[in-house]
C-alpha cells in the first residue's frame, strides 16, 4: 500500500476506485467495505484508493467540542489499512481552507481533478463541501459529465458501521475487552514510550513499565487490570497491565503500567505496545501494601491461566 500525505505528490491513478472515510479503528465493518473496494477495483482492472482526512474534520470544524476518543491514531490506521490489500492510501490534510470549498469545488477541484475516479464507493448519507451542502444527489447529477460510477453503501451497512464504532468505544470504556476485540477483529492496543514512575514497583517485587501514550487522543480502556501481551523491540511478552490512579498509595494521576512476565531489563525510553486480551478486575484501594502485593500475585496467576487456556477468545 502506497501512502500519500501530500496531494501534490500523487501519481495519475489508473481507473481509480475510491472510498472516503475516517475508518477509525479499521474494524470488522470497515474491512467489509475494503473488501468491496478491492473487488470493484479488480473487476475494472483499476487501483483501489482509500481517502481519509487528517486531522479529523471535527477537530478543525469544532475545536471547542470535546473530541471523540480515537480507536486508532493515524499511524495505527495506516498499519491496519496496509493489511487489507489496498493499493493506495491518500491522507488529505484537512484545513480550514479545504473545509470552505463549496460542494461543487470539492467535486470538481478535488475528487475529479485529483483522482479522476472510475468509481466512487460512498455511504448513502455522505456529505461534503462547505457546511456539508453536498451529498449523493449532487454526485448523481454530475456523474455522467465526469464519467464516474457510483456505488452507494446502503443505510443498513452505514448504520452497522456506526453502531460497531460506538459499541467498540463503549465496550472499552466499560472494560469489556472481549466484545471490543470481537468487533474490531484484532486485540485493542495502546502504544507509547516507557517513562519513569515513582520507583515503587521494584520495592514491592513488581516493577511496572509506565507507558506514556504516543497520542493523548487515543481511547484508554476502563480502569482495571488486564491480561496483555507486550511488544518490545520486535519481541512478544505476556504481562498484567494496570490502568488506574494507584489509590492504595493515595495517588490521583491516571497511570498505565505493565508488569512483564519472565522479564528483567531496563527499558526506559523504549517503544512499547500492549495488546489487550482480557479484563481481570477493577482498580482497588487496598488497606496495606501487603494485600496489594497478594492481589497482584493473583492477577499474575490469573493472566497466566488466561493465556494458557486453549479455548480463550482472543
Task: Pick from 52, 210, 238, 275 the residue near ligand FMN by CB under 6 A.
Answer: 210
What is the closest distance, in whole angstroms, from the C-beta atom of residue 298 to ligand FMN in the complex? Answer: 9
Distance CA 268, CA 265 (A): 9
Distance CA 259, CA 252 (A): 20
- Contact call for residue 134 and ligand ADP (CB under 6 A): no
Question: Closest by alpha carbon to 121, among 161, 166, 73?
Answer: 161
Cell triple for 285: 484501594
Closer by beta carbon to ligand FMN, 132 or else 202: 202
H or E stretch at 78: helix 74-81
Given ligand FMN, ligand ADP, none, residue 7, with its beta carbon under 5 to 8 Å by kind, binds none
The answer to whether residues 236 and 230 touch, using CB atoms and an 8 Å cutoff, is yes
Handedness of CA 156, 159, 165, 168 (dihedral sign): negative
Closer by beta carbon to ligand ADP, 101 or else 267: 267
Residue with cell 468505544: 169
Helix (H, G, I), strand (E, B) or coil at 266: coil
The answer to whether residues 23 and 74 touch, using CB atoms and an 8 Å cutoff, is no
Task: Pick from 57, 135, 187, 197 the residue near ligand FMN by CB under 6 A.
Answer: 197
What is the closest distance, in whole angstroms, from the C-beta atom of residue 193 to ligand FMN in the complex? Answer: 14
Task: Pick from 44, 138, 220, 267 the residue near ligand ADP by CB under 6 A.
Answer: 267
- Contact call for residue 249 and ligand FMN (CB under 6 A): yes
What does the per-residue mask of binding to ligand FMN show for 290-309, with x meaning CB under 6 A? --x---x--x----------
The answer to whether residues 261 and 304 touch, using CB atoms and an 8 Å cutoff, is yes
Closer by beta carbon to ligand ADP, 46 or else 192: 192
Piece of the chain touching ligand ADP by CB under 6 A; list 127-135, 243-251, 263-271, 286-294 = 263-271
Which spans of this chain sit near ligand ADP (rule: CB under 6 A)?
194, 196-202, 207-210, 259-260, 263-268
Amino acid at each position: 500500500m502506497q501512502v500519500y500525505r501530500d496531494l501534490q505528490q500523487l501519481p495519475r491513478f489508473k481507473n481509480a476506485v475510491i472510498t472516503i472515510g475516517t475508518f477509525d479503528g479499521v474494524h470488522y465493518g470497515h474491512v467489509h467495505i475494503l473488501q468491496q473496494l478491492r473487488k470493484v477495483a479488480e473487476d475494472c482492472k483499476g487501483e483501489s484508493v482509500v481517502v481519509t482526512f487528517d486531522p479529523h474534520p471535527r477537530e478543525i470544524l469544532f475545536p471547542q467540542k470535546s473530541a471523540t476518543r480515537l480507536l486508532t491514531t493515524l499511524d495505527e490506521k495506516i498499519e491496519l489499512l496496509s493489511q487489507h490489500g489496498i493499493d493506495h492510501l491518500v491522507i488529505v490534510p484537512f484545513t480550514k481552507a479545504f473545509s470552505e470549498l463549496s460542494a461543487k469545488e470539492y467535486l470538481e477541484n478535488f475528487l475529479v481533478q485529483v483522482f479522476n475516479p472510475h468509481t466512487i464507493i460512498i455511504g448513502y448519507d455522505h456529505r461534503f463541501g462547505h457546511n456539508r451542502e453536498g451529498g449523493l444527489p449532487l454526485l448523481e447529477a454530475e456523474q455522467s459529465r465526469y464519467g464516474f460510477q457510483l456505488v452507494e453503501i446502503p443505510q443498513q451497512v452505514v448504520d452497522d458501521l456506526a453502531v460497531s464504532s460506538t459499541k467498540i468505544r463503549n465496550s472499552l470504556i466499560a472494560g469489556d475487552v472481549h466484545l471490543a476485540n470481537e468487533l474490531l477483529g484484532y486485540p485493542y492496543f495502546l502504544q507509547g514510550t516507557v517513562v519513569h514512575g515513582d520507583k515503587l514497583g521494584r520495592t514491592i517485587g513488581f516493577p511496572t513499565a509506565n507507558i506514556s501514550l504516543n497520542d493523548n487522543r487515543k481511547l484508554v480502556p476502563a480502569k482495571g487490570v488486564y491480561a496483555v501481551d507486550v511488544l518490545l523491540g520486535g519481541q512478544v511478552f505476556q504481562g498484567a497491565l494496570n490502568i488506574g490512579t494507584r489509590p492504595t498509595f493515595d495517588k490521583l494521576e491516571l497511570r498505565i503500567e505493565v508488569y512483564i512476565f519472565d522479564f528483567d531489563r531496563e527499558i526506559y525510553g523504549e517503544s512499547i505496545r500492549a495488546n489487550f486480551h482480557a479484563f481481570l478486575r477493577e482498580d482497588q484501594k487496598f488497606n496495606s501494601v501487603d494485600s496489594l502485593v497478594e492481589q497482584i500475585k493473583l492477577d499474575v496467576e490469573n493472566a497466566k491461566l488466561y493465556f494458557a487456556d486453549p479455548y480463550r477468545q482472543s
